Amino acid sequence: MNLTTQKRLAASILKVGLNRVWIDPERIEEVSMAITRDGVKQLINDGAIKAKPQKGISSYRSKKIAEQKAKGKRKGAGSRKGAKKARTPKKKQWMTTIRALRKDLKEMREDEVIDATTYRKLYKMAKGGAFRSKSYMRNYARDHDLIKGDE
């Protein structure tokens, strides 16, 4: 039995898609006789035609992924879109490095590992980009006998 017209009318009346229209399998004969909007409306009121509930979208997977990302996972080469310098810009890298160097220099001066003159010299060199890390700076100071009584 072809119920496409009834289904279309019911979908229009119920304001749902065709796939959400449910027709009672035991009352198919009765439904096939209804050929007008009023006839279909009557069947809807009688309960022969109903709208199926809306399907939801589960957020389980997205929540799980967000949780993993919070832990620092899913950041491998395959997940990266921007270039290396786009993800951590040059300026940010510089700021991180220079802050670490200056903090280390300050500690070395306070602990009297280096004197004020050496501090100033190394500070200026750090500003000029002579050292890429704290260890490089310390090695330079050690190699050039700038450290008092060698750590």
Q: Report yes or no on 101 lying in a domain.
A: yes
125-139 tens-digit pLDDT: 999 999 999 999 999
Predicted local confidence at residue 79, as pLDDT: 93
- How many domains in the chain? 2
For residues 47 and 90, state if they share a domain.
Answer: no
Q: pLDDT tier at 150 (50, 70, 90 boundaries)? A: low
| Rounded-to-integer distance, Cα 25 and Cα 44, Å | 14
Supply the pLDDT for residue 151: 47
Q: Indicate whether 2 pLDDT > 70.
A: yes
**Average pLDDT taken over every residue of the chain:** 94
Classify residue 74: in a domain, yes or no.
no
Question: How would you classify residue 15: left for phi > 0, otherwise alpha for psi between -120 and 50, otherwise beta?
Answer: left
Confirm whether 150 is domain-assigned.
no
Domain at 118, CATH number = 1.10.1200.60
37-90 pLDDT, tens digit each: 999 999 999 999 999 999 999 999 999 999 999 999 999 999 999 999 999 999
Is 90 in the same domain as 132?
yes
Q: Are residues 136 and 92 in the same domain?
A: yes
CATH of the domain at 19: 1.10.1650.10
**Residue 134, domain extent:** 85-143
For residues 148 and 113, give the distance between their C-alpha atoms in angstroms, rounded to a whole number: 5
H or E stretch at 115: none
Strand partners, 49: 23
pLDDT > 70 in the chain, percent: 98
Q: 89 and 138: one domain? A: yes
Can you tell me the distance from the alpha carbon of 67 to that of 19, in angstroms, rounded to the nearest whole number?
35
